[in-house]
Amino acid sequence: MKRYKSSGEPTEATEQIELFRWAEMAKQKHPDLELMYHIPNGGSRNKKEAHNLSLQGVKSGVPDICLPAARGSFHGLYIEMKSDGGKVSDNQDKWLTALCENGYYTTVSYNCGQAIGVISNYLKLR
């Protein structure tokens, strides 16, 4: 069952689910998609759980998706997913900038289709 915002638009979670469904089907053509994963930094947590996760290395602002496959001059790809109209926080922007400065391709995608386009183009780099 798809989840939607009150506006009737798909949620960020729904878009990511669709993205990983696509990746599962596309990995025959692009085996490196098997390496792609979601970084579960978001979501609501009680203070104790948030503190424990912080002690374990969870960091606010880390992008949602990582594809650790080198292409072109890049070490890998990071995608921050946002629902339509979503805004990148200052902390997320700092992470995207720092990762880019360290040789990673970084981007923000506002829906599954955009993310698929970015990943497809990234995987074509030599």
Gap between the Cα atoms of 49 and 35, Å rounded: 28
3-class SS of residue 70: coil
The residue extents of the domains of the chain are 12-124
Closest CA to 85 of 17, 3, 12: 12
Tokens coding 37: 């994963």
User: What CATH number does domain 12-124 carry, 3.40.50.970, 3.40.630.40, 3.40.1350.10, 3.90.25.10?
Assistant: 3.40.1350.10
List the pLDDT tens digit at each of the 126 positions of the chain.
334 454 557 889 999 999 999 999 999 999 999 999 999 887 778 889 888 988 999 999 999 999 999 999 999 999 999 988 899 999 999 999 999 999 999 999 999 999 999 999 999 999
116: region left, alpha or beta (phi > 0 left; psi from -120 to 50 alpha): alpha
Gap between the Cα atoms of 84 and 93, Å rounded: 17
